[in-house]
Structure 1
Amino acid sequence: MKFQYNPKYPSIDDLRKRAKKRIPKFAFEYLDGGCNEDVNLHRNTAEIRDVELIPDYLSKHTGSNMSTELFGHTYDAPFGISPVGLQGLMWPNSPEILAKAAFEHNIPFILSTVTTSSIERISEITEGRAWFQLYHPAENELRDKIIKRAEAADCPVLVILCDVPTFGYRPRDIRNGLAMPPKMTLSNMIQILGKPNWALRTLFHGQPNFETLKPYMSKKMDLKRLGQFMDKTFSGRLNEEKIAPIRDMWKGKLVLKGVASELDTERAIKLGLDGIIVSNHGGRQLDAGESTIKPLKKIAAKYGDQIKVMMDSGLRSGPDIARTLASGAQFTFMGRSFMYGVAALGSEGGNHTISILKTQLQQVMEQICCEKINDFPNHLANS
């Protein structure tokens, strides 16, 4: 099985390096950074890479198939694209680029409430296959309006976010004026002038906006008022009382993202959720927290037969996907890797990144004699 990608950039790290050269510093640091001292950001990937797999060289092997059934749909690979806020800030039109690539490769794309394309536009591109991630509004009326729009757009899966009860403390974003309320500094303007390709494409596509939220925002909202609107509109702290009415309203599959403990997994099961995504927001919220792979192993072992257990945060390659699946995840998601791809290669970045990951994962499967995705735990080395 062969996938097409640009051989000049054969790894996610190559894409990251090129992205850093192509976009303004403030945009790259928003994408690349974690919170506080970036401890959890680096721990995520490091501890995934402590996982080792055992090859099986002499067994009869009839081929490896990475297709994966999830929520009634068979995807071509066991990974998808995580929700990322303000994608158009990092590369113009990037949500549409990634949604189109995900649709063509038959993998899931999750649209964030606070990214720069609307529910309706992404649904159109993906023929109603895109998932939607809800930042919980402070008012029930707005919550219901957004959920009804996701339902009308045929989104098969609603993802609710539980790991942003407060905004993470991110020193780079504070220095760059990307905290709330955001501001455009002289330094940022100079950085934009140094990236004319990014600037021209941004001019062509227009200033990035929270497209899903536009119907609820004043048309003449400056940056200060935007900060006030976000603070007033969203209440990030979830609890069982807030989740229960969403479960009653949403007839499709409901997933809780940001789970990092067995206790919250038990609560999700009791509330009738269909899946969880073990995640720590890419290391952007709690620097003192565990890596994602650590709780995943315990959660998957204890609850994997009761609820779909997925994971994101820290994965950067096909081998990382393999390690995570071997540790008990039934599906995986990545955010930064795909944004590096789009920032590096523009409209080709989505297809390129997906092709790299598929190629790498296929090679691992062939190497260890793993024929199906759910066979990965059989190849986990004893730790």
Structure 2
Amino acid sequence: MSYYNPNYPDTPALKRAAKKRIPAFAFDYLCGGCHDEIGLAHNFDRFEDVKLQSDLLAPTPDIDLSVELFGHRYAAPFGIAPVGLQGLMWPKAPEILAKAALEANVPYVLSTVSSASLETIADISEGTAWYQLYNPTDAKIREDLMGRIKRAGYKVLLVTVDVPTFGYRPRDIKNGLAMPPKMNLRNIAQMMQCPSWCWHTLLAGVPEMQTLKPYMPKNMPTSELANFMNNTVMGAVDFESLKVIRDNWDGPLILKGLVNPEDVAQAVALGADGVVLSNHGGRQLDIGESPLDTIRAIDKAYGDKIKLLLDSGVQSGGNVAQAMAMGADFTLLGRTFVYACGAVGHHGGEHAIEMLKQQMTQVMGQLKCPTPTQLPHFLKAGPGV
């Protein structure tokens, strides 16, 4: 059995522990949403409408959590979503999570704006990690970056399409978030309240965006980070720009950040292999839809043409089961895994994976559902479903 700490049996417990160990400016970046955080709350609340119904008099099945996706059989129907600035929230978090994902046979998705380089994570994951790409505005940077991704051996490319603007996040604006963090009195005071974070950061080194470092102007002031991201890294994404990426990528291509059926139709026309139904964890459009609001219609129209992954609001094994019952083929979780690193340290990834597997196994055993692909049969129709 992998590492499991019973003091943290669910995501809320991990979040409470992480909040005590991560400086407030970094924790706010992780847990916060945009504007009034209405969309963030809606993502979580929407799961309350999804009910599953047990088949208690059926024979007791052997539970098998494994699912096949893009030619690989994963041990469970969830993976680790791309989260930017992971090393700021907990030192070496990308390395911790990539290693745990490899050992557990679930996918780890490296963010372009991670604190670990794509080459480092490719080595740690032994070629099993996926890569998340923003569309650089500079064609030369895009070509160079995609060349590095191919040479490193990544097999699955996930393109984030739901950041046409830099998110308006009041917490980050107030904190003056930067990478590396600003050394003002307020932030220094917050760091000093987290001695374990300080010690591990000292050992790991100041967090930087290692993958993007070759493309950053030398001695760029931290105040220019947002402009660099907006003007260079997160270029506009539309059908035509995605065609360029599709034509230059031979492996599975996933578009992350779609919510409505019309966009999924275009993803199918593009020749994408999958989409992540997502609203960026409630961090981009506060008054938008949750993926659970639209997944059943999308599954009905396109579920036989493209793989449907889902994130945003998923924080338990029960949520994974609910998402799959609604039509998802796979799920991704971000915050839960970073909370786990903050709470448990270098065992964080192992703990979170084991926690989710235990939760999901119990739910499926209670339903008497043998495999994740059969979960739609246990969906109870009702309001909101």
Would you say same fold, with TM above 0.5? yes
Q: Distance in 2 between matches of 1:180 and 1:23?
A: 15
Deviations 1:254-281 (A, max 9, x none): 0000001101000000000000000000
Q: Distance in 2 between matches of 1:90 and 1:33?
A: 13
What SS is found at the alignment partner of 1:316?
coil
Contact 2:178 2:223 (C-alpha < 8 Å) held by counterparts: no
Contact 2:166 2:230 (C-alpha < 8 Å) held by counterparts: no
- State how 1:151-300 maps to structure 2 within 5 Å: 151-178=150-177, 183-300=182-299
Match of 2:319 in 1: 320
Q: Distance in 1 between matches of 2:202 and 2:88?
A: 12
- State how 1:64-143 maps to structure 2 within 5 Å: 64-143=63-142
CA 1:236–1:280: 2 relative to 1, 3 Å: farther
Match of 2:5 in 1: 6
- State how 1:333-348 maps to structure 2 within 5 Å: 333-348=332-347
Q: Distance in 1 between matches of 2:179 and 2:219?
A: 18
What SS is found at the alignment partner of 1:375?
helix
The one-letter code of the counterpart of 2:29 is Y
TM-score under structure 1 length normalisation? 0.97
The one-letter code of the counterpart of 2:310 is M
Deviations 1:69-120 (A, max 9, x none): 0000000000000000000110000000000001110000000000100111
Contact 1:181 1:228 (C-alpha < 8 Å) held by counterparts: no
Q: Distance in 1 between matches of 2:238 and 2:134?
A: 13
The one-letter code of the counterpart of 2:31 is D
Q: Distance in 1 between matches of 2:3 and 2:364?
A: 19
The one-letter code of the counterpart of 2:49 is D
Q: Distance in 2 between matches of 1:72 and 1:34?
A: 35
The one-letter code of the counterpart of 1:371 is P
Contact 1:3 1:356 (C-alpha < 8 Å) held by counterparts: no
Q: Does residue 380 of structure 1 match 2:367?
A: no
Structure 1 residue 289: deviation in Å?
Answer: 0.3
Contact 1:66 1:76 (C-alpha < 8 Å) held by counterparts: yes
Give unmatched runs, 5+ long, in structure 1.
none
Q: Distance in 2 between matches of 1:228 and 1:285?
A: 17
Q: Distance in 1 between matches of 2:216 and 2:234?
A: 17
The one-letter code of the counterpart of 1:362 is T
Q: Distance in 2 between matches of 1:324 and 1:81?
A: 16
What SS is found at the alignment partner of 2:68?
strand
Q: Distance in 1 between matches of 2:22 and 2:14?
A: 12
Give unmatched runs, 5+ long, in structure 2.
none
**% identity of equivalent residues:** 49
CA 1:130–1:60: 2 relative to 1, 3 Å: same
CA 1:170–1:180: 2 relative to 1, 3 Å: farther
Contact 1:180 1:227 (C-alpha < 8 Å) held by counterparts: no
User: How many residues were matched structurally?
Assistant: 382
TM-score under structure 2 length normalisation? 0.96
Contact 1:49 1:323 (C-alpha < 8 Å) held by counterparts: no
What SS is found at the alignment partner of 1:212?
coil
The one-letter code of the counterpart of 1:319 is G
The one-letter code of the counterpart of 1:115 is S
Q: Distance in 2 between matches of 1:10 and 1:372?
A: 23
The one-letter code of the counterpart of 2:248 is M
Q: Distance in 2 between matches of 1:218 and 1:120?
A: 21
Q: Distance in 1 between matches of 2:247 and 2:21?
A: 45
Contact 2:2 2:350 (C-alpha < 8 Å) held by counterparts: no
Structure 1 residue 302: deviation in Å?
Answer: 1.3
The one-letter code of the counterpart of 1:23 is I
Structure 1 residue 194: deviation in Å?
Answer: 1.3
